């Protein structure tokens, strides 16, 4: 069925223009000043039309941890936040590290997902860091992205073997880097005087950057495609800048919370994430690295937990916050609306076009005739307040509850069909 969006402001070729967008379930058919058609109309008066957002780093917890999140609730949260494509991480039970498990996992996604869901396989079997997963077998099922998110691959020889296998199979390795030799028992936040004042065990920058530096060198040596997850430290930025200058095929992401918050903002367990919120110097290095291309795009590490997971002492509480329903409004408000440091087109490219391109999604991430009909309608004219009680995610673990934002997603369209619509 054909539908046409009228009266909206459309982000088209990097500019906001007043035009109509005609589409069906397969693709965008036309973007013109006025389209003469009898298609069903969507009145977007007062709204801005953007390509659907893409998040290459989310946690949906199913199978195995359905009390935290499911495919159904996770994709509903994605739609609510304007994300039409997501990549869930594989730290599940069972791990998606073999064809039989992956087939069942894909059936679950097909049944319950309301946005496009592209799951990761594991880098190593059971995320144990010992035996490299059979990438060839999983690629035959459509899995072209592999991560052991939640843990780093400690053994250098195993990491080298994984990258060589990835190169052979033309698949992407995405790594959470964490050298546990730098971690003390109960480590929870950034290692800094602020943590000491509160009696919290700290995590140094080297916990991330040391293993990342090793991986980047291995990626250069093997020629494999490598992606760094949730970069948070200035030393990591420096390592990325250096290895990119040498021609390695590497990219890296940064999460919204690391762009917005610092270690001295921590007030409790809803500010506890891994990697932790770091210093002002670290945060500014991340912002500047995103702007100069050292960091490639934004991905948010949506990490839902139960209330019980978070209502514990800092050292015992779970790491992570939910982010799918807040990241675009927060980043737009801070960097586009208030600071005017970024343009809307830049932000959308970092949250849609660039991740889509790096992760091999053809004709997604832009509004263009012939491209997929994944679109969102957003209100950029009125203030609203983040209310965690209204999240569609099972998780309520956010430090942003009650924040005022100047953006709200009003409708999310996936393959030409509205999958979420607000008031």
Mean pLDDT confidence for 347-356: 98
User: Which residues neighbour 344 within 8 Å (Cβ) at sequence distance 6 or greater?
Assistant: 11, 16, 48, 332, 336, 380
Model confidence band, residue 100 (pLDDT cutoffs 50, 70, 90): very high
Instruction: Report the candidate in 174, 275, 191, 289 with the shortest Cα–Cα distance to residue 232.
Output: 275
Given 358, 381, 399, the domain boundary residue is: 358
| Domain annotation covers residue 103 | yes
| Domain annotation covers residue 365 | no
Q: Are both 7 and 124 inside the same structural domain? A: no
Q: What is the pLDDT of residue 184?
A: 87
Q: What is the pLDDT of residue 352?
A: 98
Give the residue numbers spanning the domain of 340.
52-358
Mean pLDDT confidence for 278-290: 98
User: Which residue in this structure is represented by tokens 């957002």?
Assistant: 53
Q: What is the pLDDT of residue 357?
A: 98
pTM over 0.95: yes
Which tokens hold the place of 42?
């969507």
Cis peptide before 275 (omega within 30 of 0): yes
Q: Are both 135 and 225 inside the same structural domain? A: yes
Contact indicator for 375, 42 with CB cutoff of 8 Å = no
Instruction: Report the candidate in 99, 97, 73 with the shortest Cα–Cα distance to residue 86.
Output: 73
Model confidence band, residue 265 (pLDDT cutoffs 50, 70, 90): very high
| Domain annotation covers residue 272 | yes
Q: Are both 248 and 313 inside the same structural domain? A: yes
Mean pLDDT confidence for 218-226: 98
173-196 residue pLDDT tens? 999 999 999 998 899 999 999 999
Contact indicator for 344, 332 with CB cutoff of 8 Å = yes
Q: What is the pLDDT of residue 7?
A: 97
User: Which residue in this structure is represented by tokens 């971690």?
Assistant: 183
Burial of 58 (0-12, 13-18, 19+ CB in 10 A): buried
| Domain annotation covers residue 363 | no
Dist. CA 83–CA 328, nearest whole Å: 9
| Domain annotation covers residue 367 | no
User: Which residues neighbour 34 within 8 Å (Cβ) at sequence distance 6 or greater?
Assistant: 19, 20
Pick the catalytic residue: 301, 349, 374, 379? 301
**Average pLDDT over the chain, rounded to whole?**
97
Q: For residue 79, how far is the Cα from the chain centroid?
A: 13
| 148 counts as catalytic | no
Given 332, 358, 384, the domain boundary residue is: 358
Q: Within a 10 A sphere around the Cβ of 101, how many other Cβ atoms?
A: 17
Q: Are both 340 and 383 inside the same structural domain? A: no
How many folded domains does the chain comprise?
2
Q: Are both 317 and 396 inside the same structural domain? A: no
Model confidence band, residue 423 (pLDDT cutoffs 50, 70, 90): confident
25-75 residue pLDDT tens? 999 999 999 999 999 999 999 999 999 999 999 999 999 999 999 999 999
Q: What is the pLDDT of residue 254?
A: 98
Dist. CA 285–CA 290, nearest whole Å: 9
Dist. CA 204–CA 230, nearest whole Å: 15
Model confidence band, residue 215 (pLDDT cutoffs 50, 70, 90): very high
Mean pLDDT confidence for 94-120: 98
Q: What is the pLDDT of residue 306?
A: 98
| Domain annotation covers residue 264 | yes
Which tokens hold the place of 140?
């035959």
Q: Within a 10 A sphere around the Cβ of 309, how many other Cβ atoms?
A: 18
Torsion of CA 358, 213, 238, 334, to 10 degrees: 50
| Domain annotation covers residue 274 | yes
Mean pLDDT confidence for 207-236: 98
296-348 residue pLDDT tens? 999 999 999 999 999 999 999 999 999 999 999 999 999 999 999 999 999 99
| Domain annotation covers residue 36 | yes
Q: Are both 274 and 337 inside the same structural domain? A: yes
Please report, for the domain that includes residue 399, its CATH number.
2.30.40.10
Q: Are both 405 and 381 inside the same structural domain? A: yes
Q: Are both 349 and 384 inside the same structural domain? A: no
64-99 residue pLDDT tens? 999 999 999 999 999 999 999 999 999 999 999 999
Given 358, 382, 410, the domain boundary residue is: 358
Q: Are both 262 and 198 inside the same structural domain? A: yes
Q: Are both 21 and 74 inside the same structural domain? A: no
For the chain, give the percent of residues with pLDDT over 70: 100
Please report, for the domain that includes residue 263, its CATH number.
3.20.20.140
Contact indicator for 301, 229 with CB cutoff of 8 Å = yes
Model confidence band, residue 366 (pLDDT cutoffs 50, 70, 90): very high
The DSSP secondary structure of 226-283, one letter per residue, reads EEE-S---HHHHHHHHHHHHTT--EEEEE-HHHHH--GGG--SGGG--SSPP--HHHH
Q: Are both 59 and 39 inside the same structural domain? A: no
Q: Are both 67 and 44 inside the same structural domain? A: no
Contact indicator for 172, 260 with CB cutoff of 8 Å = no
């Amino acid at each position: 069925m054909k539908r046409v969006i009228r009266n909206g402001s459309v982000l088209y070729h990097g500019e906001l223009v007043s035009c109509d967008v005609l589409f069906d379930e397969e693709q965008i058919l036309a973007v013109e000043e006025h389209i003469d058609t009898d298609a069903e109309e969507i009145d977007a008066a007062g709204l801005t039309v953007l390509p659907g957002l893409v998040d290459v780093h989310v946690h949906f917890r199913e199978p195995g941890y359905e009390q935290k999140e499911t495919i159904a609730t996770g994709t509903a949260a994605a739609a609510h936040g304007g994300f039409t494509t997501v990549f869930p991480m594989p730290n599940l039970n069972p791990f998606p590290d073999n064809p039989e498990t992956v087939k069942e996992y894909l059936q679950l996604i097909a049944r319950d997902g309301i946005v496009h869901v592209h799951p990761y396989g594991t880098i190593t079997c059971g995320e144990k860091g010992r035996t490299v997963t059979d990438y060839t077998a999983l690629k035959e099922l459509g899995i072209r992205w592999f991560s052991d998110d939640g843990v780093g691959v400690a053994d250098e020889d195993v990491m080298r073997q994984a990258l060589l296998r990835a190169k052979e199979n033309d698949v992407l390795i995405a790594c959470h880097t964490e050298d546990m030799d730098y971690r003390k028992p109960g480590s929870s936040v950034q290692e800094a005087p602020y943590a000491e004042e509160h009696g919290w065990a700290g995590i140094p920058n080297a916990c991330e950057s040391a293993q990342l530096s090793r991986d980047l060198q291995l990626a250069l040596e093997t020629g494999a495609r490598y992606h760094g997850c949730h970069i948070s430290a200035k030393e990591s930025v420096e390592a990325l800048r250096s290895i990119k200058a040498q021609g390695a095929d590497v990219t890296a992401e940064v999460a919204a919370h690391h762009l917005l918050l610092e270690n001295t903002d921590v007030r409790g367990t809803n500010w506890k994430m891994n990697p932790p919120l770091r210093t002002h110097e670290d945060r500014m290095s991340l912002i500047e690295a995103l702007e100069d291309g050292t960091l490639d795009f934004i991905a948010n590490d949506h990490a839902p937990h139960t209330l019980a997971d978070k209502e514990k002492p800092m050292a015992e509480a779970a790491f992570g916050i939910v982010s799918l329903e807040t990241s675009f409004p927060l980043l737009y408000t801070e960097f586009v609306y208030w600071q005017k440091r970024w343009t809307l087109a830049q932000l959308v490219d970092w949250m849609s076009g660039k991740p889509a391109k790096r992760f091999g999604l053809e004709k997604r991430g832009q509004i263009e005739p012939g491209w997929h009909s994944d679109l969102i309608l957003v209100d950029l004219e009125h203030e609203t307040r983040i209310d965690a009680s209204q999240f569609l995610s099972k998780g309520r673990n956010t430090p942003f509850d009650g924040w005022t934002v100047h953006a709200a997603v009003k409708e999310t369209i996936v393959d030409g069909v509205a999958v979420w619509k607000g008031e």
